[in-house]
């Protein structure tokens, strides 16, 4: 509803419009009278804190695409004090043939239906066989709401030869959202398949709707692997819920410290657009980066048997 | 005007004709309006016998000994014969596509009425159109044909239909399905459904993806479609027509909001490259074209020459008799309405009764059912009540049975006044005057088939306005229907609506112009308040709030209470809105449902549930309401001559403080219990006018009562203020009160949480208002005061009260009012 301060200012505006001492009416005797504002009743603008931009505090650069500029922040996995070697090795494994069932160290044949299902190789492995892990793209978006609100940050990750490359594309204000969408679409086109967490339900339809909103083309025909679906299939009965944070703790044994609450993300962005103060956005960038890294670390686990995946599901 | 002579042919049969035990076959009916007149005269003559036959129920009529009134006053006080009107047909400039022609032929529509043809031609020529013709004149055909034609010719095209209620959307959906059933081509071309709060999730998705004729309401468009327009990209990109049915309901605060919702709709459509035409329909009003143009925000062509035929109609004013020559009290209007209804049903006349309150619909149904069970068993099951609060499926079933002619009579609140297609009936009985001339014609128009004679009867309450109209029947026939007033540029409405608009798409300067000259100033304020952010000449929504969620288009909340029958495993009996619940289903109340009595055991305000059980009793209950206004503070005050005028926030609160038990039919009060229910509060803004003691004394010296003068002035302000601040009368309230200031004062307040600036504006132009009030009362040709000047329009629609039990406010003295206002203006 209308806030009391807004109500008061509209009241002030009306009193400014009202002709003094009932001297006649505007608009043919009906209505509120003269539409012009009396400048005397307008409150002077509050002095603003000099806005500093995100590029003042985060390394990165302005990228100019077909719809204009956006800010891009890039990091490597090793920048996060993580060692990529083990992870890269596991990725290389996924696309290889599963172990020969007749080999001596092969696990025993399943005897019950749940065991049989458990033993089934994830069908998603085919993507890795076909394209290899160097041609995939992780994606996670940050938005101003669950539906019909702007998207402003898109975290991406691909696997390089010796490192994971993390990129965050950022619209510095609402007007740059078009450029952000255009850039995401272009980058998607450069990859062979997409990996998300709940992206089939949320991220990709959201981006599509935003493109429709801006009356832009947004085509992604590349295959899409939604890790949430794999997690549900495998661990639904053993985890309290399938949120990425929960999986991160139970499977990856990583606990997030100081992570921003998801519900605060929209207002952090709106405040940034209105008043600058880029430091308030750092937790959002951090949160997005952790989501993307968690996906990249989780994926190989989903192709490993339980004992190797090493999680605690109790 | 009235012939007291009874038709000789009927005289022989006398009352036997009317009260024969078995109904005549329905086909017999009535052949001419004269027969209606004779029937009612016979009913009047036979009042005592007809009113309470042997062993009849306890009725107050029994108390009047026969012969005590040698010359009873007539009950049939006026009968106006409205002549028949032949059909006028016209051909379209271009013929219809074959599939459509075929379907119309199959429905028996071989030619179009002139107003339909005119509207279709205008729509085909690319104009926005409003059709304002009588009830049941075929207005929906006038918008359905252009829409269906477009869908046939252009497979991509889409259309959006807006109805003020979900029930109407359901009804029109059935109409569209009937079209589709008649032609394979149409069935292929049309994918339709209702999209509202009742639509399940899977159906919503399907409609979004494939629907090309979406039936919804302004509230859903506002909260459930426009904010998510990207999901509806296909619909908006191809939007050719927007049908806005029953535009006369979009007035006052609701209309001001809807006008802005339609501006948002046009803006979103334009964003997707479409510029839809608006096809509107309206009941008869003084200003349908102006109303449609304000709503659409563009020029709209008017079609108001009704080409549909009308049979002759008898319009009767019926005033229930006083108990005796000296008694000020009249017999119950409900009981008289029931007598007329039963007489009509027995003659095979399909009838509808309109009541002003739910309880009255239930009472009349109960009385009529009782009598029919005794006298004409077969008819008792062919009668049904109808009102809000019944379950949707129950309502659909009643509508269908009525439409198919199976039900011979229905007793309804104004829920059936809107255009739900229940076919046309032979007689309408209006219990009490509806609050407006337009509603009266609308309800009276529910009867009248193409060529057959029809009847409309208004049964008066003891209320002063009803009695005035009974004394001056010409007054009613000389009045034109009211104008609908709305103000799309109301700044508070605009602030809310601009927020919703900016959320949907950033506002450009051109967009702001769509919302009127005041929009840029309000947008600036919103930006300074932090809701908007300007970037490159566009204003973006810049807050994590979802603005449409906090903006209700209507003043009435859509919160509902559920009424559960505890004896049948908590079966849901019905619903009631949260404002009315404490006035209808308070503890120990008797809740009437389809004429049956239920005892309310408990009202759970938290869970919003009333628990009831069936209980046979011989009484119903009425809430005793206590309303008062408490001034929170004086924000401003000034002098107008000697008088004081003020403005400030106020809390209007009301509660059910007690209940009365009333015996059926006799209306005897047989019990009174205090109740302890929480007060409901409306925080709003009020202005007050406080005449000085000197002024009041001056009126007294002239031999007049200043208090009456203040009542008269309050009533005048209820008429005058809405015209100056552009709202509907029910959007403001007015009361006299001495408690707040220690002296009597008139308080006028906005009936909307937080206020919408009506009182504020009224305060600024109070001298103007008093001048207009004085002109109105001086120019009124009446002698002592009438409903057009100092007489009171309804102050609060008392939805849950039986008007039979309340005398209403007397019409205050015209002379006292004139004297007071002249004095206040120093004239």
Q: What is the pLDDT of residue B50?
A: 41
Confidence band for B475, pLDDT divided at 50, 70 and 90: confident
Picking from A7, A31, A209, the nearest residue to B754 by CB comes out as: A7
Q: What is the pLDDT of residue A28?
A: 33
Q: What is the pLDDT of residue B68?
A: 47
Contact A32 B757 (CB under 8 A): yes
Contact A270 B551 (CB under 8 A): no
CA A253, chain centre distance (Å): 22
Contact A175 B517 (CB under 8 A): no
Residues B69-83: pLDDT tens digits?
445 678 899 999 999
Whether B464 contacts B791, CB under 8 Å: yes
Q: What is the pLDDT of residue A298?
A: 92
| Residue B807 pLDDT greater than 80, yes or no | no
Residues A62-78: pLDDT tens digits?
999 999 999 999 999 98
Q: What is the pLDDT of residue B752?
A: 86
B487 in contact with chain A, both atoms CB, cutoff 8 A: yes
Residues B391-424: pLDDT tens digits?
888 888 998 888 888 999 999 988 888 777 777 7
| Residue B480 pLDDT greater than 60, yes or no | yes
Give mean pLDDT, residues B422-435: 87
- Residue B732: closest CA among B763, B709, B701, B768: B763
Give mean pLDDT, residues B528-532: 94
| Residue B797 pLDDT greater than 60, yes or no | no
Residues B103-113: pLDDT tens digits?
999 988 999 99
| Residue B625 pLDDT greater than 90, yes or no | no
B550 in contact with chain A, both atoms CB, cutoff 8 A: yes
B324 in contact with chain A, both atoms CB, cutoff 8 A: no
d(CA B391, CA B413): 15
Chain A residues closer than 8 Å to B227 by CB: 148
- B769/B782: higher pLDDT: B769
Give mean pLDDT, residues B348-372: 94
Terminal CA-CA length for chain B? 44
Confidence band for B327, pLDDT divided at 50, 70 and 90: low
Contact A213 B229 (CB under 8 A): yes
Picking from A2, A45, A209, the nearest residue to B495 by CB comes out as: A2
Residue to substitute from B764, B770, B772, B825, interface A, most A β-carbons within 10 A: B764
Contact B535 A144 (CB under 8 A): no
The B residues from 675 to 734 touching A (CB cutoff 8 Å) are: 723-726
Provide the percentage of residues in chain A whose pLDDT is more than 90: 42
Residues B130-144: pLDDT tens digits?
999 988 889 999 999
Residue to substitute from A270, A276, A277, A284, interface B, most B β-carbons within 10 A: A270
Give mean pLDDT, residues B592-600: 95
d(CA B193, CA B176): 9
Q: What is the pLDDT of residue B755?
A: 84
| Residue B42 pLDDT greater than 70, yes or no | yes
Confidence band for A35, pLDDT divided at 50, 70 and 90: very low
Out of A264-278, B305-319, B435-449, pick the least confident: B435-449
Residues B201-234: pLDDT tens digits?
899 999 999 999 999 999 999 999 999 999 999 9
Contact A270 B754 (CB under 8 A): no
Residues B488-510: pLDDT tens digits?
998 999 999 999 999 999 999 99
Contact B726 A31 (CB under 8 A): yes
H or E stretch at B352: strand B351-354
Residues B633-645: pLDDT tens digits?
999 999 998 999 9
Residues A181-220: pLDDT tens digits?
999 999 999 999 999 999 999 999 999 999 999 999 998 8
Whether B191 contacts B208, CB under 8 Å: no
Chain A residues closer than 8 Å to B536 by CB: 175
Contact B530 A274 (CB under 8 A): yes
B649 in contact with chain A, both atoms CB, cutoff 8 A: no
ipTM for the predicted complex comes to 0.82
d(CA B791, CA B812): 7
Give mean pLDDT, residues A286-304: 92
Provide the percentage of residues in chain B whose pLDDT is more than 70: 91
**Residue in A with minimal Cα distance to B535:** A175
Contact B760 A270 (CB under 8 A): no
Q: What is the pLDDT of residue A117?
A: 57
Q: What is the pLDDT of residue B324?
A: 67
| Residue B63 pLDDT greater than 50, yes or no | no
Cross-strand bridge partners of residue A195? A138, A225
Terminal CA-CA length for chain A? 46
Angle at which helices B814-824 and B766-779 cross, to 10°: 150
Picking from B496, B525, B726, the nearest residue to A30 by CB comes out as: B726
Alpha carbon of A213: minimum distance to chain B alpha carbons (Å): 5
Confidence band for A26, pLDDT divided at 50, 70 and 90: very low
Picking from B546, B753, B764, the nearest residue to A18 by CB comes out as: B764
Chain B residues closer than 8 Å to A18 by CB: 761, 764-765
Across chain B, what does the average pLDDT equal? 87
SS3 category, B511: helix
Whether B303 contacts B319, CB under 8 Å: no
Across chain A, what does the average pLDDT equal? 81
| Residue B159 pLDDT greater than 50, yes or no | yes
Cross-strand bridge partners of residue A154? A141, A169
Q: What is the pLDDT of residue A1?
A: 59
Task: Classify each residue of A181-208 as buried b or exposed e, where b means 16 or more C-beta atoms within 10 Å of its C-beta.
Answer: bbbbbebbeebebbbbbbbeebbbebbb
SS3 category, B359: helix
Confidence band for B780, pLDDT divided at 50, 70 and 90: confident
Confidence band for B3, pLDDT divided at 50, 70 and 90: very low
B83 CB neighbour count, 10 Å cutoff: 9
Chain B residues closer than 8 Å to A29 by CB: 724
- B304/B798: higher pLDDT: B304
B229 in contact with chain A, both atoms CB, cutoff 8 A: yes
Q: What is the pLDDT of residue A122?
A: 72
DSSP letter for A109, please: P
Residues A153-181: pLDDT tens digits?
999 999 988 899 999 999 999 999 999 99
B492 in contact with chain A, both atoms CB, cutoff 8 A: yes
The A residues from 250 to 309 touching B (CB cutoff 8 Å) are: 266-267, 270, 273-274
Chain A residues closer than 8 Å to B540 by CB: 173-175, 273
Q: What is the pLDDT of residue A8?
A: 80
Confidence band for A36, pLDDT divided at 50, 70 and 90: very low
Confidence band for B51, pLDDT divided at 50, 70 and 90: very low
């Amino acid at each position: 509803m209308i806030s009391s301060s807004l109500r008061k200012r509209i009241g002030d505006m009306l009193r400014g419009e009202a002709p003094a001492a009932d001297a006649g009416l505007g608009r043919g005797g009906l209505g509120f009278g003269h539409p012009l504002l009396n400048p005397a009743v307008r409150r002077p603008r509050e002095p603003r804190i000099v806005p500093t931009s995100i590029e003042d505090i985060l390394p990165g650069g302005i990228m100019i695409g077909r719809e204009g500029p956006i800010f891009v922040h890039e990091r490597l996995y090793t920048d996060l004090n993580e060692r990529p070697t083990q992870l890269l090795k596991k990725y290389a494994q996924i696309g290889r043939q599963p172990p020969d069932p007749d080999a001596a160290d092969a696990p025993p044949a399943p005897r019950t239906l749940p065991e049989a299902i458990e033993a089934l190789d994830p069908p998603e492995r085919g993507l890795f066989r076909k394209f290899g892990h160097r041609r995939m793209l992780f994606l996670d978006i940050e938005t101003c709401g669950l539906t019909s609100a702007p998207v402003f940050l898109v975290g991406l990750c691909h696997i390089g030869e010796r490192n994971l490359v993390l990129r965050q594309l950022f619209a510095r204000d609402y007007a740059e959202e078009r450029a952000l969408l255009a850039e995401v679409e272009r980058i998607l086109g450069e990859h062979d398949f997409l990996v998300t967490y709940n992206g089939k339900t949320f991220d990709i339809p959201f981006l599509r709707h935003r493109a429709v909103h801006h009356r832009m083309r947004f085509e992604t025909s590349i295959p899409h692997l939604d890790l949430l679906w794999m997690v549900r299939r495998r661990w639904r009965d053993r985890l309290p819920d399938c949120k990425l944070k929960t999986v991160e703790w139970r499977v990856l044994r990583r606990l997030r410290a100081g992570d921003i609450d998801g519900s605060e993300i929209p207002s952090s962005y709106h405040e940034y657009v209105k008043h600058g103060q880029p430091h308030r956005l750092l937790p959002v960038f951090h949160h997005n980066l952790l989501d993307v890294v968690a996906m990249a670390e989780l994926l190989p686990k989903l192709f490993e048997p339980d004992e190797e995946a090493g999680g605690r599901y109790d | 005007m009235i012939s007291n002579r009874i038709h000789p042919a009927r005289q022989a049969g006398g009352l036997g004709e009317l009260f024969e035990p078995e109904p005549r076959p329905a086909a017999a009916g009535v052949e001419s309006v004269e027969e209606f007149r004779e029937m009612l005269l016979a009913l009047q003559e036979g009042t005592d016998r007809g009113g309470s036959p042997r062993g009849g129920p306890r009725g107050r009529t029994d108390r009047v000994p026969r012969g005590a009134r040698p010359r009873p006053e007539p009950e049939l006080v006026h009968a106006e014969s409205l002549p028949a009107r032949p059909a006028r047909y016209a051909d379209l400039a271009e013929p219809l596509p074959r599939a459509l022609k075929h379907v119309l032929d199959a429905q028996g529509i071989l030619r179009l009425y002139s107003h339909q043809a005119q509207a279709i031609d205008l729509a085909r020529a690319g104009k926005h159109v409003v059709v304002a013709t009588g009830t049941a004149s075929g207005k929906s055909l006038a918008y359905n044909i252009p829409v269906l034609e477009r869908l046939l010719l252009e497979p991509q095209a889409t259309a959006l239909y807006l109805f003020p209620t979900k029930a109407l959307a359901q009804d029109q959906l059935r109409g569209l399905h009937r079209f589709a059933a008649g032609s394979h081509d149409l069935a292929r071309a049309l994918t339709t459904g209702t999209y509202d709060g009742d639509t399940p999730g899977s159906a919503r998705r399907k409609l979004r993806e494939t629907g090309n004729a979406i039936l919804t309401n302004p509230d859903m468009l506002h909260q459930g479609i426009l904010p998510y327009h990207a999901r509806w990209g296909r619909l908006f990109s191809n939007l050719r027509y927007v049908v806005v049915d029953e535009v006369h309901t979009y007035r006052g605060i609701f209309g001001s909001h809807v006008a802005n919702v339609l501006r948002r709709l046009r803006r979103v459509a334009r964003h997707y490259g479409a510029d839809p035409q608006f096809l509107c329909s309206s009941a008869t009003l003084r200003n349908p074209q102006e109303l449609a143009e304000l709503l659409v925000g563009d020029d709209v062509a008017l079609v108001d020459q009704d080409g549909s035929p009308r049979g002759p109609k008898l319009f009767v004013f019926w005033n229930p008799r006083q108990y005796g020559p000296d008694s000020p009290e009249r017999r119950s209007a409900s009981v008289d309405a029931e007598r007329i209804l039963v007489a009509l049903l027995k003659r095979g006349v399909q009838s509808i009764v309109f009541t002003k309150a739910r309880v009255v619909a239930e009472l009349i149904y109960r009385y009529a059912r009782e009598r029919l069970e005794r006298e004409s068993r077969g008819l008792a099951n062919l009668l049904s009540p109808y009102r809000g609060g019944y379950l949707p499926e129950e309502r659909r079933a009643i509508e269908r049975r009525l439409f198919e002619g199976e039900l011979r009579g229905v007793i309804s609140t104004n829920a059936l006044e809107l255009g739900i297609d229940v076919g046309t009936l032979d007689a309408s009985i209006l219990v009490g005057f509806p609050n407006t001339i337009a509603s009266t014609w609308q309800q009276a128009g529910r009867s009248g088939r193409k060529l057959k004679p029809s009847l409309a009867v208004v049964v008066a309450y003891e209320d002063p306005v009803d009695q005035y109209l009974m004394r001056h029947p010409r007054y009613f026939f000389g009045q034109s229907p009211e104008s609908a007033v709305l103000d799309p540029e109301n700044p508070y409405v605009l602030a809310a609506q601009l927020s919703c608009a900016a959320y949907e798409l950033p506002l450009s300067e051109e967009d702001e112009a769509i919302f009127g000259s005041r929009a840029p100033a309000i947008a600036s304020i919103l930006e300074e308040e932090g809701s908007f952010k300007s970037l490159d000449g566009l204003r973006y929504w810049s807050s994590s709030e979802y603005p449409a969620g906090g903006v209700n288009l209507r003043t009435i909340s859509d919160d509902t209470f559920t009424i559960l029958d505890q004896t049948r495993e908590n079966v849901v009996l019905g619903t009631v809105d949260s404002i009315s619940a404490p006035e209808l289903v308070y503890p120990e109340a008797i809740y009437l449902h389809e004429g049956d009595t239920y005892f309310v055991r408990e009202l759970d305000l938290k869970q919003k549930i009333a628990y009831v059980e069936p209980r046979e009793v011989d009484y119903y209950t009425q809430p005793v309401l206590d309303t008062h206004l408490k001034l929170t503070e004086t924000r401003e005050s000034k002098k107008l001559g000697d008088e004081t005028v003020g403005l400030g926030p106020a809390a209007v609160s009301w509660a059910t403080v007690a209940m009365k038990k009333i015996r059926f039919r006799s209306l005897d009060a047989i019990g009174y219990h205090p109740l302890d229910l929480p007060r409901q509060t409306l925080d709003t803004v009020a202005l007050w006018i406080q005449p000085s003691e000197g002024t009041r004394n001056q009126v007294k010296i002239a031999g007049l009562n200043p208090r009456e003068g203040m009542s008269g002035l309050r009533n005048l302000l209820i008429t005058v203020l809405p015209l100056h601040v552009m709202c509907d009368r029910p959007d403001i309230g007015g009361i006299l009160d001495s408690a707040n200031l220690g002296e009597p004062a008139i308080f006028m307040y906005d009936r909307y949480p937080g206020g919408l600036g009506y009182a504020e504006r009224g305060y600024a132009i109070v001298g103007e208002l008093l001048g207009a009030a004085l002109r109105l009362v001086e120019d009124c040709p009446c002698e002592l005061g009438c409903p057009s000047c100092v007489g009171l329009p309804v102050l609060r629609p008392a939805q849950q009260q039986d008007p039979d039990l309340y005398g209403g406010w007397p019409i205050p003295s015209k002379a006292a009012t004139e004297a007071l206002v002249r004095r206040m203006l120093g004239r």
